[in-house]
Amino acid sequence: MTGSIIQINISPGGIPKRPIPDAIVTAEGIRGDRWSHPDIHGGPNQALLLITSEGIDELIEQGFPLFPGALGENLTTLGLDRRQMRIGQRFRAGEVFFELTKRRAPCATLNMYGPGIQQAIFDTQVKAGDPSSLRWGLSGFYARVLRSGTLRSQDPIALIEQVV
């Protein structure tokens, strides 16, 4: 599974996150990125949030006014199949290596994009870890950073190891 990073996003806290051309990524996440609720978001096992641009496009087709960074993702990707993404997969993007650690459960903050968005991106199948759900991966995946480094918009991203 290969693709590219089409946008790197940060914010001073909350959503949306805004694009930056490149980033220094450490075990704590992207330098300069913050969370409104650090008791819920961030930390070493949630250092990065990835969402596919194809998934964003699906949600736009359903009527949600989204754009890259709107859902709070740090990395908006192109070419990765969200339906094939699994906890434990390891990826390389630019100089950075990271491992998917958990599915992101949506919160009420996303309701700013319209009623029903939480149900559109996360259902009981996803919550149970069932990748056959049509909503699998729409809410994104958290990752921990295995090797720090620089990441640039348009860098390739590739699955390098399936740990599970």
pTM for the predicted model, two decimal places: 0.93
Closest CA to 144 of 41, 73, 49: 49
Distance linking the first and last C-alpha atoms of the chain: 16
CA angle 111, 35, 86 (to 5 degrees): 75
What are the tens digits of pLDDT across the range 135-161?
Answer: 999 999 999 999 999 999 999 999 998
Count of domains for the chain: 1
What's the CATH number where 121 sits? 2.40.33.20
Range of the domain at 55: 2-162
pLDDT tens readout for residues 32-57: 998 766 666 667 899 999 999 999 99
Cα dist from 47 to 51, 68, 86, 150, whole Å:
14, 18, 17, 15
Residue 10 in contact with residue 32, Cβ under 8 Å? Answer: yes
